[in-house]
Structure 1
Amino acid sequence: MKRQGGFTLIELVVVIVILGILAVTAAPRFLNLQSDARESSLQGLKGAMAGAAGIVYGRAAIDGVEGVSSVTAASSATGIALTFGYPSATTDGIGNAVDGLGANDGDWIAVSGSGSTATPPVIHYSFSGSASDTTCFVSYETNASAGAPTITVTNTGC
């Protein structure tokens, strides 16, 4: 009589237990991917804001308005509200300077409670659909005097 080859029940159970242990130790590493992606998106937006602010400032310097404390979007050659040559901390300023920050773009949303009423003016952008988010956003703050804006990332609750 031929002897049949194959795995015994004990061998199969041992392999399943080993795979289970590996899955339990590896699962936490993959469960935090959404948080990492949000934090990376915030860093990307910060870079986009910094790049756009530099480009807009260069255009303002060419136009000779880099020393003016306030230029409205209507009178700006670029259609962007300016504060000392940099985009203002409003939706007409930095919101018009960066693609994806506009009201109809849908990628990012200005967090409620921010805007030009603060001193110095500051605006927060969070992910679309989370207008009340106060723990995962990018802040754009214009300088009260002639100088580059301050752009910070808050990612404590991403």
Structure 2
Amino acid sequence: MKKQAGFTLIELIIVIIIIGILAATAAPKFLNMQDDARTASLKGLESALKSAAAITYSKAILSGKDIHDDTTITIDGIDDAVAVVYGYPKADKDTLRQVADLSEADWSFDTATSGGVKVYAASFTTPPTDECYVTYNTQGRGKAPEITTVPCGKN
């Protein structure tokens, strides 16, 4: 009697079912990577805005303009004067574009309900939705601006 090698139909079906179960549990994790990547780019923008605000504030202190609620300063490497509020960059799209070197092709801006600015990645959605953005709000004298990220897919 010859011995046959191979898989039975039942064994093949069991393997297909196991692969299907693994795919069903792994797929949501892979689909969530897009939101994670978008949130990571917004976190990078948040860090860039915080660094730009700190550098601008340092320059304002050195020029004695950190006590004024509406003035301008000059910063090396930036062609135009930078509008500042108590030494920190003013919460408007032109000023944030200047200090953080944000291109219009990559970032879009909107007025936040709290009076600050919402910054969206232009490639995420058109027009921007109410998720996936960074807010920039100036505070009072001697206080750093409030810069926060609203992560993607969490609303």
Shorter-normalised TM range? 0.7 to 0.9
State the partner residue of 2:148.
152
Deviation per CA, 1:24-50: give whole Å up to 9, x if none.
121112121112222222222111111
Deviation string, structure 1 residues 63-91 (Cα, Å, up to 9, x no partner): 2222222224xxx2123211111111012
User: In the aligned structure 1, how far is the partner of 2:9 from the partner of 2:135?
Assistant: 59
Cross-structure match for 1:143: 139
Q: Distance in 2 between matches of 1:136 and 1:97?
A: 21
Contact preservation (8 Å) 2:57, 2:88: yes
- Check whether the contact 2:39–2:152 (CA below 8 A) recurs between aligned residues: no
> Is residue 78 of structure 2 the alignment partner of residue 77 of structure 1?
no
Counterpart-to-counterpart distance in 2, 1:61 and 1:123? 24
Confirm or deny: 8 A CA contact 1:80 1:94 kept in the other structure. Answer: no
Contact 2:135 2:149 in 1 (8 A): yes
- Give the letter aligned to residue 126 of structure 1: Y
Q: Is the 8 A contact 2:57 2:87 kept in 1?
A: yes
Output the CA distance in 2 between the equivalents of 1:27 and 1:64: 56
In 1, distance between residues paired with 2:25 and 2:82? 51
Task: Give the TM-score of the pair, scaled to structure 2.
Answer: 0.81
**Aligned length, in residue pairs:** 147
**What secondary structure sits across from 1:68 in the alignment?**
coil
**1:87-126 pair list within 5 angstroms:** 87-99=89-101, 101-103=102-104, 106-111=105-110, 114=111, 121-126=115-120
Moved over 4 A (4+): none
- Larger displacement relative to structure 2 (38-47 or 52-61): 38-47
| Root mean square deviation, CA, Å | 2.3
The one-letter code sitting in structure 2 at the alignment partner of 1:19 is I
Q: Which has the higher contact order (CA 8 A, sep 6+)?
A: 2
Question: Residue 128 in 1 paired to residue 152 in 2?
Answer: no
Partner in structure 2 of residue 11 of structure 1: 11
Which AA in structure 1 matches 2:103?
A: G
Give the letter for the 1:16 counterpart. I
- What displacement does 1:8 show? 2.1
Identity rate of aligned residues, in percent?
Answer: 40
Where do 5+ consecutive residues of structure 1 fail to align?
Answer: none
